[in-house]
Structure 1
Amino acid sequence: MKHSSPYLTVVVIGLLFALAYSTSHTHDHEHFLQCLQLQNSTSISEVVYTPSNSSYSSILQFSIQNHRFLSKTTPKPLVIVTPLHASHVQATIICSQLHGLQIRTRSGGHDLEGLSYISQVPFVIIDFMKYRNIQVDVEKRTAWVQAGATIGELYYSISKKSKTLAFPAGICPSVGVGGHFSGGGYGYLMRKYGLAADNIIDAHMVDVKGRFLDREAMGEDLFWAIRGGGGASFGVILAWMVKLVPVPPTVTVFRVERTLEQNATMLVMKWQIVAIKLHKDLTIRLILTTKAKFEALFLGGKDKLIPLMQERFPELGLVKEDCTEMSWVESTVYMAGSSSKSLQVLLQRTPSPPQNYKGKSDFLKHPIPESGLEGIWQLFKENGDKDAFMELVPYGGIMDEIPESELPYPHRSGNLCLVGYIVPLHQEDGDEVAQRHIDWTRKLYSYMERFVSKCPRKAYINYRDLDIGVNNIDGYTSYEQASIWGHKYFNNNFKRLALVKTKVDPLNFFRYEQSIPTLLCLRPKGHK
């Protein structure tokens, strides 16, 4: 018996969608709501918000962590769905297709370009703010984490069950796991245990056909793609099953600042040589402004840390008084920069005060020379904004042992560090001043071009940056066009991501400004 061609299947699906569009394509949210009621047997009306609802604005704004996109001119969704069950997501996906609406999926709202809650075409937001249950299994050293949970909530939940288990994810506790994990997710345990995505062992999602899938049902190709390739290109991630990792009952942290007068340039030069060669248990993150700040986590006590630093990095002059011993979960509060020592900080879903920011990223393969560092100091002096900073997160350790093709996240061996450029934008400064700070960030980024990775100049997808290239807003985007930005994020893995996309979402329903393209030339009905 002959099997049908996958291209014939795509054509058939295309004809079905064309029929749906010709009979039902409308941006009237009333028809969309009627569709939701028909598709869903449970009471979906309790989790649906339209502009006519009194709670619409508060629900929309609650998870906008970057207030740069909280303005009257920012495009607003026709409908917000805050699902409590997988069936709510399934209904939303099906009805969005029938009524010509795009979907934006929001778990925490920290997207640097706001793509999880903004679209230039009519759209619906699936906001997982109510879908954030966490189940920790200490015996199996695993946890199921729903997409709307934050990494702070995950850290807190683990700590309530165990003092010697942890999870290798990010620094900011209010970041949602849905996007963080699907883009990679780095943190202070990266050199010891890899990325968050490296420690995911199962997932639940809903695909373009409205099917509920786990790892077995989705297959290894799709499971590979959503762990570092950005899950929103392939469907809607509902939950992750993660592997917990062992940590000692006592860890040590330190935060040491050095000015230019205190030989900051020389110290940064030495850090670039030793940071990736240190023991996996020690990660020293570097923050540059007009001075250098060295922040570290060591998986052990200070009595072991001090001799290690004296042997490998004596120039820093670290002493016991600089160090503080605490539990791992307490270190996550410390590293988040909180002035409070209470673990309740991990449960705060919105940063205080509200934040506006622009970010960019790079990967450093060779040390920045002394002359290059002098130029960086000068740029920070010219900017005059003490809040802007440049972070350097060291590689080495297990990151050198994981092949580039293991996950879509390709930035493994050969990298000295990840570089992030972050500039906060203060609301009271006004649009003109904010734009000046953004322009300064681009100037710093341009200056760094001579020192960072090349051909292509690489970037980190969780530091979303539309400056490096975009898809067409409402129309067909070729693989070649998308490759302009795609190879920067994914390098040699981009083609495989496009192959998976073509297989699971051939008509490119799940699309946005930097979504993975298909390899087909089929255009959705009504698109150019």
Structure 2
Amino acid sequence: MAMAKSVLAPPVLIFALFCSYYAASMASAQAAASSSDGFLRCLSASIPSQLVFTQSSPSFTTLLKSSIRNPKFFTPSIVRPLYIVTPTNASHAQDAVLCGRQNGMRLRVRSGGHDYEGLSYRSERPEAFAVLDLSNLRAVRVDLQTSTAWVDSGATLGELYYAVGKASNVLGFPAGLCPTVGVGGHFSGGGFGMLLRKYGLAIDNVLDAVLVDARGRLLSKNTMGSDVFWAIRGGGGESFGVVLSWQVRLVPVPATVAVFNVPVPASQGAVDVVTRWQQVAPALPDDLFIRVLVQQQTANFQSLFLGTCDALLPVMGSRFPELGLNRSSCKEMTWIQSVPYIYLGSGSTVEDLLNRTTSASVFSSGYKATSDYVRQAIPRDVWANIFSRLAQPNAGLMILDPYGAQISTVPESATPFPHRAGVLYNIQYMNFWPMAGGGDGAVQTKWVRDLYAFMAPYVSSNPREAYFNYRDLDLGENVVVGNVSSYQAGMVWGHKYFKDNYQRLAVAKSQIDPDDYFRNEQSIPPLANSN
């Protein structure tokens, strides 16, 4: 992992670097001005002006900020887009791509704005780019006769769940917990949640998709090619074009489900219960999912069971008595009611799933996150050490999601998402800090990086696996050689996210976008033009 270093450079070197950077910036600015004028003129011929926002537009900043979920990427030093285009139909997206290609203006595609590194709306390096914001494309069309739905990439998971729940109380969809996450990015990276042990990932249930490629063509599963359709289901859709909508298979859920949230403090044996959970949770019946949020000195066990409390309690009593679940901790409701209950709390309603905004308290906190996969249970003494780290000042949290059951029956090569058989659980490390007062999060970020380094002997290796939807630029960044991202350099991070599937992703990239028009700091490079 790339660790932050503090090194003082000689004054002469600093001056030389500044001069070189200034010259490069001036040249880049001149080129950007030229491409910007042409791009804007091209857009004006086919896209209504009210759907295109320049940096001088009164609503530009509000729109850019509207779905930035990590406010550390909303500071003056961040490289922002020159334009935001908000298409209302497929032809607008096609025209934006064509105008971008013709005028040297790259596009970054944003659905919900939850990308942990903000790469859907900002750049790590100075460059001219526009954001294609899909928030106006968010229709959900449920077909009860076929138990399928078409959902646009700009819809949130909450909007998808709400539409499914409104149509039927015995259908659901296996995707993530956070209701404001955009469908486009979530599906593109895999997408897992409380139904993963029963029905796998979101991408395991994608039947078709509509894609705008780098040539502006509108493609479906049958016309984009089998390699590309395989690639967009977990390999990062933004690498291959603009995925406008997805057809998904809805899954059966019982009319009544059971949920519980049981906190176990360290003083009451949390270390022992978490240690035991590692072996129990991945081996439970596939109807039962128990995740753990470990923060400070408490482990919170959150569960969804596809059945009643009367059916759940005997299973817990025989398989996981260490948790001490009792009837008073078990709640019954419909599946759609369980979604806001688990993520938003007991006072939430189904209508809360339609709220696309992030609360002010969340927006005021920057965060750092990364991930791991565990294939062998971590010893108790290590967990005791972890709990001591979680008790440190400015400590963050860990989220543990169990695998096993259905997700492990799918071959690693079936989708780009390879973390299947043999995985006990996924770990997400997170830490937050207040942005008010100029907080830069250096201490909190260091805590995440230090814990990640400490965990190395106890998690997967060769490669040390990571989840693409928990994107982390510490794992590596693309290097552009000859205006094309280097395949070899991309392997540094690509194997962590995709293992042996990285090469096939690069082949698909070379088929659909050989010139690497759609790229960011962790996009798939084309293999045919590798360096």
- TM-score, normalized by length of structure 1? 0.91
| Residue of structure 1 in register with 2:115 after alignment | 111
| Residue of structure 1 in register with 2:93 after alignment | 89
Q: 1:364 aligns with which of 374, 398, 422?
A: 374
The whole-number CA distance in structure 2 between the counterparts of 1:117 and 1:473 is: 19
| Residue of structure 1 in register with 2:495 after alignment | 487
The whole-number CA distance in structure 1 between the counterparts of 2:154 and 2:497 is: 24
Q: 1:419 aligns with which of 404, 423, 427?
A: 427
The whole-number CA distance in structure 1 between the counterparts of 2:520 and 2:56 is: 26
**Structure 1: which 5+ residue stretches go unaligned?**
1-23, 524-528
Q: 1:206 aligns with which of 200, 212, 221?
A: 212
Q: 1:60 aligns with which of 61, 64, 69?
A: 64
Q: Matches of residues 220-369 of structure 1 in structure 2 within 5 Å? A: 220-289=226-295, 290-352=297-359, 353-355=361-363, 356-369=366-379
Q: Matches of residues 372-521 of structure 1 in structure 2 within 5 Å? A: 372-385=382-395, 388-428=396-436, 430-432=438-440, 434-472=441-479, 475-521=483-529
CA offset at residue 342 of structure 1?
1.4
Corresponding residue SS for 1:517: coil
AA matched with 1:313: F
CA contact (8 A) 1:27 1:122 kept: no
Alignment of 1:185 with 2:195, yes or no, is: no
AA matched with 1:190: L
CA contact (8 A) 1:284 1:294 kept: yes
**Structure 2: which 5+ residue stretches go unaligned?**
1-30
CA offset at residue 430 of structure 1?
3.1
Q: How high is the sequence identity, in percent, across the aligned residues? A: 46
CA contact (8 A) 1:192 1:281 kept: yes
AA matched with 1:403: P
CA contact (8 A) 1:309 1:318 kept: yes
- TM-score, normalized by length of structure 2? 0.91
CA offset at residue 232 of structure 1?
0.4
CA contact (8 A) 2:488 2:530 kept: no
CA contact (8 A) 1:151 1:170 kept: yes
Corresponding residue SS for 1:325: strand
CA offset at residue 95 of structure 1?
1.2
CA offset at residue 476 of structure 1?
3.7
Q: 1:196 aligns with which of 197, 202, 205?
A: 202
The structure-2 alpha-carbon separation of the partners of 1:478 and 1:30, relative to structure 1 and needing over 3 Å to count, comes to: closer
Corresponding residue SS for 1:383: coil
Corresponding residue SS for 2:499: helix
CA offset at residue 44 of structure 1?
2.6
Moved more, 256-265 or 405-414: 256-265
| Residue of structure 2 in register with 1:20 after alignment | none
The structure-2 alpha-carbon separation of the partners of 1:447 and 1:79, relative to structure 1 and needing over 3 Å to count, comes to: same
The whole-number CA distance in structure 2 between the counterparts of 1:192 and 1:123 is: 41
CA offset at residue 337 of structure 1?
2.9
RMSD: 1.5
The whole-number CA distance in structure 2 between the counterparts of 1:348 and 1:339 is: 17
| Residue of structure 1 in register with 2:152 after alignment | 146
Size of the aligned set, in residue pairs, is: 494
CA contact (8 A) 1:400 1:412 kept: yes
4+ residue runs over 6 A deviation: none
CA contact (8 A) 1:205 1:236 kept: yes
CA offset at residue 521 of structure 1?
3.5
CA offset at residue 29 of structure 1?
2.6
| Residue of structure 2 in register with 1:21 after alignment | none
CA offset at residue 425 of structure 1?
2.1
Corresponding residue SS for 2:468: coil
CA contact (8 A) 1:102 1:124 kept: yes
Alignment of 1:46 with 2:50, yes or no, is: yes
